[in-house]
Structures are given as C-alpha cells and as structure tokens.
C-alpha cells in the first residue's frame, strides 16, 4: 500500500466496533451512508448530515462561550446564531485556522489578547489557560474538545435524547467535524447544460 492510500484511510475517524468496508471509507458521505444503511436508520431530519453538523457546531461553541465567560471579568456576548448555524463548507473552511479570539473579535468587537491582558480583563487565576486557549486555531481547539470528558458527555446526551442509532451518526459527524470542512468540496449546483 502506498502512502496516498494510507492517507485516504486515515482521513476520517471511526470509533465503532465494526469495520467500514474499503469501498465506503474514502469519503465522509459514503461512511455516513454506510452507517445509516447498516443500522437501518430512517431518513429524517435528525439523521441528515446538515442537522448533525449544526448540532456539533452548536455544542462546541456553547463550551467555547462558557470558557470565555469563566476566564474573563466581562460578560462576553454569544457568537451570532447566523455564524453558529452556518454549515456551508467554504464559509467554515476559512475559520478552521483562525484563533478563537480572532473569531470573537470579528463578531463581537472583543479586544485582542494583549489588550485584554493590559486592561486586566482576564481573571488572574485563568491567565495561563486563557493564553493557550486564545492562541489555538479553531481546528486544534476542536481536536482538544474531542479528547475531553465534555465531548463524551455530549455523545451520551445525544444517545439518551435521540437514541443510539442517531447517536452513532452524531458520533461519526462530531469526530470528523473538522475533517469534513477540511477535506470536503463545496456543493456545486448542477445546471442542465452540465448534464
């Protein structure tokens, strides 16, 4: 096997007690479809990729917002709902390498890290944590979240509220949230001339 084949296989994470067939393992959509077919998950709003992406993004940014408010002496506004619910590939791709402080600056007029530090807006016992937090890219923060106890709790909550089948789909989507935006191509609308 050459390196390109290994790279393709490792693009998307799976954390299941079954093996995804090789012919299904090269794209996010094919793995997602395989899981839905294997567990006979009915096609409904809750089992669609876009609904699950919105749920992942919402849960992740809820935690980000909690951390911001625990580390700062000011109340930080939530990021706009239009940002949270936008799951467009091109739109989200441009935010993966930005830091969380850059994103909050863009939407909430929050000062940069140095200004927060100079104005003593960072809680004294949270300075080191907040410094690290502010300098990670969104991509890195999401990876850290996936390793956290909170992530496991979020997975368990979805299993309890939506059922284990939807929980499997949610777990796959949430484990691969960043990879979805990193590797997926934007959807192209087909016009009749292309057919």
Residue 17 lies in a domain: no
Residue 19 lies in a domain: no
| Helix ranges, 113-163 (H) | 113-118, 127-135, 138-146, 149-162
Residue 170 lies in a domain: yes
> How many Cα atoms are found within 13 Å in the side-chain-facing hemisphere of 63?
18
**This prediction's pTM:** 0.84
Domain that holds residue 86: 43-182
Q: Which two tokens stand for residue 147?
A: 């390793």
**58 pLDDT above the threshold of 90:** yes
> How many domains does the chain divide into?
1
Answer yes or no: are the C-beta atoms of 99 and 134 closer than 8 Å. Answer: yes
More confident residue, 142 or 189: 142
Residue 195 lies in a domain: no
Residue 33 lies in a domain: no
More confident residue, 102 or 1: 102
How wide is the angle at C-alpha 160 spanned by C-alphas 42 and 81, nearest 5°?
80
Q: Which two tokens stand for residue 16?
A: 């299941």
**116 pLDDT above the threshold of 60:** yes
Mean pLDDT value across the chain: 86
Closest-CA residue to 8 (of 40, 59, 16, 20):
20
**87 pLDDT above the threshold of 80:** yes
What number is the average pLDDT over the span 112-124? 92
**98 pLDDT above the threshold of 90:** yes
Residue 6 lies in a domain: no
Backbone angles phi, psi at 122, to 5 degrees: -85, 130
Residue 80 lies in a domain: yes
**Per-residue confidence (pLDDT) for residue 170, from 0 to 100:** 95
State pLDDT tens for residues 13-55: 777 667 777 777 678 888 899 889 988 998 889 999 999 999 9
Q: For the CA atoms of 176, 178, 182, 188, what is the dihedral angle to 10 degrees?
A: 80
**9 pLDDT above the threshold of 60:** no
The Cα-based distances of 142 to 1, 24, 82, 150, 167 in angstroms read: 30, 25, 20, 12, 19
Residue 192 lies in a domain: no
State pLDDT tens for residues 139-148: 999 999 999 9
What number is the average pLDDT over the span 98-116? 90
Lowest mean pLDDT among 17-21, 58-62, 163-167, 168-172: 17-21
**2 pLDDT above the threshold of 60:** no
């Amino acid at each position: 096997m050459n390196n390109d084949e290994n790279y393709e296989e490792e693009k998307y994470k799976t954390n299941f007690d079954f093996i995804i067939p090789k012919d299904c393992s090269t794209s996010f959509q094919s793995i997602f479809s395989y899981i839905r077919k294997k567990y006979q998950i009915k096609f409904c709003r809750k089992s669609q990729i876009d609904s699950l992406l919105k749920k992942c993004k919402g849960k992740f940014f809820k935690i980000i917002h909690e951390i911001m408010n625990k580390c700062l002496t000011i109340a930080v506004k939530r990021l706009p709902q239009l940002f949270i619910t936008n799951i467009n590939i091109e739109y989200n791709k441009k935010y993966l390498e930005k830091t969380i402080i850059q994103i909050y600056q863009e939407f909430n007029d929050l000062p940069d890290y140095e200004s927060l530090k100079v104005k003593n807006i960072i809680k004294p016992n949270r300075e080191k944590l907040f410094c690290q937090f502010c300098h990670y890219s969104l991509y890195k923060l999401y990876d850290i979240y996936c390793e956290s106890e909170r992530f496991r709790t979020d997975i368990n909550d979805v299993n309890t509220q939506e059922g284990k089948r939807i929980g499997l789909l949610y777990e796959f989507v949430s484990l691969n949230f960043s990879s979805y935006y990193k590797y997926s191509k934007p959807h192209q609308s087909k016009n009749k001339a292309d057919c």
